[in-house]
Chain A
Amino acid sequence: MTAKVVTIASGKGGVGKTTSVANIAVALASRGQKVTCIDGDIGLRNLDVILGLENRIVYDLVDVIEGRCRLRQAMIRDKRLSDLYLIPAAQTRDKSAVSPSDMVRLCDELRPEVDWILIDSPAGIERGFKNAIAPADRVLVLTNPEVSAVRDADRVIGILEAEGKGPASLIINRLNPSMVRRGDMLSVEDVLDLLAIDLIGIVPEDENVVVASNRGQPLALDGKNKAGQAFQNIARRLMGEKVPFLDLDPQNVFQRLLGRK
């Protein structure tokens, strides 16, 4: 096995990076892939709670880097999916505890063990972000259809190009199809026009995301809701499958129900 290292970044905070990493990881693992996700947000870790693994942390990323434990000891195995692991961030340290070359070394050690390494980048474009993209083979830029998130995504895409980490792929998260219809939200086409990069996923806004985070059970675990399906589709596209984008327009769904489409 030689893992592909995929980093998820957004520039702006609160657009859904951690939720996306958790769900894409779950989706890949549910398809028989061996996945390790790394929480890159040192000092503000959250991937552990979103995955529901917060009670099982003994060692963290900084412990591995500073040699207090072996890599395997810091990998928490998920209880639902036996091929899913988490390396949590340290909570009581700051970003300067890790360097980009530490991350490259750690990922190189991990690569033979798994199929995928997913890195959850912290918000911002400073040290934590630089750490998260250093080992990346591929970067997924996450945005919301909203001015500040799109602007920050553009900055991140620019930096990735400058650092030779491009071309990035885009995930548009929290799309509200009825607002788009009303003309009160940027559409997928608008965002693609502005950012001019390839699209790898469209995730609709979904209340179930909050419910799932309350429970620590990522919603991609059951494929019934739209957001979960969207994350499953992103996983399939990462694996090289051609998957059409979900039709999220409520009117089209209505027309289909009436048999008019």
Chain B
Amino acid sequence: MMDFLFRRKKSANSAKERLQLVLIHDRTDLTPAQLESLKDDLIATISRYIEIDPTAVSINVAQDGRQQRLVADIPLKSAIRRRAR
């Protein structure tokens, strides 16, 4: 919507967004592909103990100052059913 109104996104915003992603990978030495395979491994491991919905799992690197944090959101199957009711 904003893009539409202003014709084009401000270049400073693009710079900031691009840098945010680049810095996460520079700092963690983790490529998006590696993060994806970490996610698959995590899903496989957790699934051996508890039922989860693999499509609902999200894993991201979050920033807290100069601290990097791996944040995983893994909804359990039973919880999904309860929420749906």
CB-based nearest A residue for B10: A183
B15: A residues at CB distance < 8 A:
146-147, 186, 190
Cα distance A194–B12 when bound, in Å? 13
Q: Which of A174-203 contact B (CB under 8 A)?
A: 180, 182-187, 190, 193-194, 196-197
**Contact mask for chain B residues 55-76; partner A; CB cutoff 8 A; 1 contact, 0 none:** 0000000010110000000000
Per the CB 8 Å criterion, the residue count for chain B at the interface is 16
B66 CB contact (under 8 Å) in A151, A155, A161? A161
CB-based nearest B residue for A183: B10
Query: How far apart are A193's CB and chain B's nearest CB, in angstroms?
Result: 7
A182: B residues at CB distance < 8 A:
10
Does chain A have a CB within 8 A of B34? Answer: no
Cross-chain contact A186 with B12 (CB below 8 angstroms)? yes
Cross-chain contact A147 with B27 (CB below 8 angstroms)? no
Q: Which of B1-47 contact A (CB under 8 A)?
A: 10-13, 15-16, 18-20, 22-23, 26-27
Cross-chain contact A185 with B18 (CB below 8 angstroms)? no
Cα distance A14–B9 when bound, in Å? 28
Query: How far apart are A184's CB and chain B's nearest CB, in angstroms?
Result: 5
CB-based nearest B residue for A179: B12
Does chain B have a CB within 8 A of A158? Answer: yes
A190: B residues at CB distance < 8 A:
12, 15-16
A186 CB contact (under 8 Å) in B16, B27, B65? B16
Point out which of B15, B20, B26 has the most chain A C-beta atoms below 10 A from its C-beta.
Answer: B15
Interface size class, chain A: 20 to 34
Does chain B have a CB within 8 A of A142? Answer: no
Does chain B have a CB within 8 A of A234? Answer: no
Tell whether A194 pairs with B20 under 8 Å between CB atoms, given A183-B10, A184-B11, A184-B12. Answer: yes
CB-based nearest B residue for A185: B12
Tell whether A155 pairs with B12 under 8 Å between CB atoms, given A147-B18, A161-B66, A196-B65. Answer: no
Cα distance A190–B23 when bound, in Å? 13
Query: How far apart are B16's CB and chain A's nearest CB, in angstroms?
Result: 5
A197: B residues at CB distance < 8 A:
66
Cross-chain contact B10 with A184 (CB below 8 angstroms)? yes
Query: How far apart are A157's CB and chain B's nearest CB, in angstroms?
Result: 7
Binding site for A on B (CB under 8 A): 10-13, 15-16, 18-20, 22-23, 26-27, 63, 65-66
